[in-house]
């Protein structure tokens, strides 16, 4: 009797034991790894352009509103600001003691009374004068005497303004930048080509250092006909926008700007076609054209999507171009 019962009991016990082992194995099996989601990839930053805050054609007061005030002075800058220009353009050179100051010509003769004050210093070359000597000069009376744009004769400059221009000084770059910053304005600083002078080795770095000191990298466009200066600007501060000035049309403006790491192409009026303006703009660069003083050409350039127009008559361009701050 006992031997007959033992066999089926063993079978049942074996089956029960196998069931327990299966359940235990199921409970302790590792959970499948969680599904991982793809991490978002960082998007490339948009290319910085010379006018990142404006898609309209900018009204650029060339050397200030120099048809109504002596060029490259704070008087001309104030006039351009009052007329609603989007920014002003100035030229910078160095005194013999290394101070950046605002002047266009290579000599002081045309726009000051240097011949009367320093008659023995011919040819009155800029870099041979100290800042103290430059400060002794009158950079306003020549405008009153010559009426270079015939706006005095036309009655567009008041007697009070004419009187105030006498004795106007050439500002230092620091003063010009401070004026721009204080008025929440913008400026195109053209660095004059000082090749062959002592200032050639330091002018770019001094200009950039002043811009950095005043915290104005986002409010300044630096341009030059000396394209090596443009590259030096980028080495000193890559965040400052730059423009390549050209007297004659470059065969491939986009390639030029890529090579210089510049943001703007600045050709002389008549040296770029409307179609070429569109190509440069579509490639992500700005086109600033100098110097335009007639309404018909202004309208053509606005229609061609020029980024900005340098003009001695910002009062003429103002109604034609919707600028922006």
SS3 at position 28: helix
pLDDT above 50 (res 73):
yes
Given the residues 51, 54, 61, 62, select the one marked as catalytic: 62
- Picking from 27, 68, 55, the residue whose alpha carbon sits closest to that of residue 293 is 68
Residue 142: predicted pLDDT? 98
Measured distance CA(74)–CA(183) in Å, rounded: 12
Per-residue pLDDT, 321: 85
The tally of domains found in the chain comes to 1
Q: CA triplet 231, 228, 203: central angle to 5 degrees?
A: 90
Question: Is position 190 within any domain?
Answer: yes
Sign of CA dihedral 241, 325, 309, 52: positive
Region of poorest pLDDT, from 26-30, 132-136, 143-147: 26-30
Confidence of residue 54 (pLDDT cuts 50, 70, 90): low
Measured CA to CA in angstroms, residue 279 lies from 67, 274, 284 at distances of 32, 9, 9
The helix (H) or strand (E) run that includes residue 308 is strand 308-311
Highest mean pLDDT, choosing among 23-27, 31-35, 228-232: 228-232
Q: Which residues contact 240 (CB under 8 A, 6 or more apart)?
A: 208, 211, 217, 220, 222, 233, 234
- Confidence (pLDDT) at 306: 97
Whether the per-residue pLDDT at 13 is higher than 80: the answer is no
User: Can you state the angle between helices 295-303 and 274-282, rounded to 10 degrees?
Assistant: 40
At residue 10 the predicted structure's pLDDT band, cuts being 50, 70 and 90, is low
Q: Are 90 and 176 in contact (CB under 8 A)?
A: yes
One of 63, 79, 104, 192 is an active-site residue; which one? 104
The verdict on residue 215 lying in a domain is yes
User: Phi/psi zone of residue 167: left (φ > 0), alpha (ψ -120 to 50 degrees), beta?
Assistant: left
The answer to whether the beta carbons of residues 290 and 266 sit under 8 Å apart is yes
Q: What pLDDT, on a 0 to 100 scale, did the predictor assign at position 58?
A: 97
The reported pLDDT for the residue numbered 111 is 98
Domain membership flag for residue 73: yes
Q: What is the pLDDT of residues 260-318, one digit of tens each?
A: 999 999 999 999 999 999 999 999 999 999 999 999 999 999 999 999 999 999 999 99
Tell me the average pLDDT across 31-44: 40
51 belongs to a structural domain: no
Whole-model pTM: value is: 0.83
Residues 259 and 256: their CA atoms lie apart, in Å, by 5
Check which CATH number belongs to the domain holding 272 and give it.
Answer: 3.20.20.190
- Report if residue 1 sits inside a domain: no
> Is 74 a domain residue?
yes
94 phi/psi in degrees, rounded to 5: -120, 140
Kindly calculate the radius of gyration of the chain based on its CA atoms and give it in whole angstroms: 34
| Torsional class of 231: left (φ above 0), alpha (ψ -120 to 50), beta (otherwise) | alpha
> 217: which DSSP letter?
G
Q: How much is the mean pLDDT over the chain?
A: 88
Can you tell me the distance from the alpha carbon of 77 to that of 69, in angstroms, rounded to the nearest whole number?
9
Residues 6+ apart with CB under 8 A from 175: 74
Q: Where is 120: in which H helix or E strand?
A: none
Question: What's the domain range around 230?
Answer: 58-107+171-317
83-126: pLDDT as tens digits: 999 999 999 999 999 999 999 999 999 999 999 999 999 999 99
Please tell me what DSSP assigns to residue 166: T
pLDDT digits (tens, 9 = 90+) for 239-252: 999 999 999 999 99
Q: How many C-beta neighbours within 10 Å does residue 204 have?
A: 23
pLDDT tens per residue across span 147-202: 999 999 999 999 999 999 999 999 999 999 999 999 999 999 999 999 999 999 99
Instruction: Flag whether 28 is in a domain.
Output: no
Report the Cα–Cα distance between both ends of the chain, in Å, rounded. 109
- Report if residue 8 sits inside a domain: no
Active site includes 227?
A: no
């Amino acid at each position: 009797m006992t031997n007959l019962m033992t066999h089926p009991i063993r079978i049942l016990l074996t089956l029960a034991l196998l069931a327990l082992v299966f359940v235990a194995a199921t409970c302790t099996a590792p959970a499948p790894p969680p599904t991982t989601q793809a991490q978002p990839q960082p998007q490339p930053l948009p290319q910085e352009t010379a006018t990142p805050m404006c898609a309209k054609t900018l009204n650029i007061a060339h050397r200030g509103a120099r048809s109504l005030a002596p060029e490259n002075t704070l008087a001309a800058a104030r006039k351009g600001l009052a007329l609603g220009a989007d920014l002003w353009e100035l030229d910078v050179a160095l005194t013999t003691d290394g101070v950046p100051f605002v002047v266009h010509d290579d000599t002081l003769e045309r726009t000051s009374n240097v011949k009367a004050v320093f008659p023995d210093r011919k040819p009155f070359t800029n870099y041979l004068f100290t800042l103290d000597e430059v400060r002794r000069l009158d950079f306003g009376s020549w405008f009153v005497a010559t009426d270079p744009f015939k706006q005095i004769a036309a009655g567009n400059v008041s007697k009070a303004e004419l009187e105030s221009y006498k004795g106007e000084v050439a500002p230092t770059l620091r003063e010009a930048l401070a004026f721009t910053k204080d008025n929440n304005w913008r400026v195109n600083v053209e660095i004059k080509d000082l090749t062959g002078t002592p200032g050639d080795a330091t002018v770019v770095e001094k200009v950039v250092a002043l811009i950095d000191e005043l915290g104005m990298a986002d409010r300044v466009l630096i341009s030059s006909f000396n394209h090596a200066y443009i590259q030096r600007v980028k080495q000193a501060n890559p965040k400052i926008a730059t423009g390549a000035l050209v007297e004659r049309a470059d065969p491939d403006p986009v390639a030029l700007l890529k090579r210089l790491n510049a943001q703007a192409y600045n050709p002389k009026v008549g040296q770029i076609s409307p179609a070429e303006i569109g190509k440069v703009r579509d490639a992500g660069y700005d086109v600033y054209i100098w110097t335009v003083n007639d309404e018909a050409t202004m309208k053509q350039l606005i229609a061609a999507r020029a980024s900005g127009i340098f003009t001695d008559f910002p009062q003429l361009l103002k109604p034609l171009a919707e600028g922006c701050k």
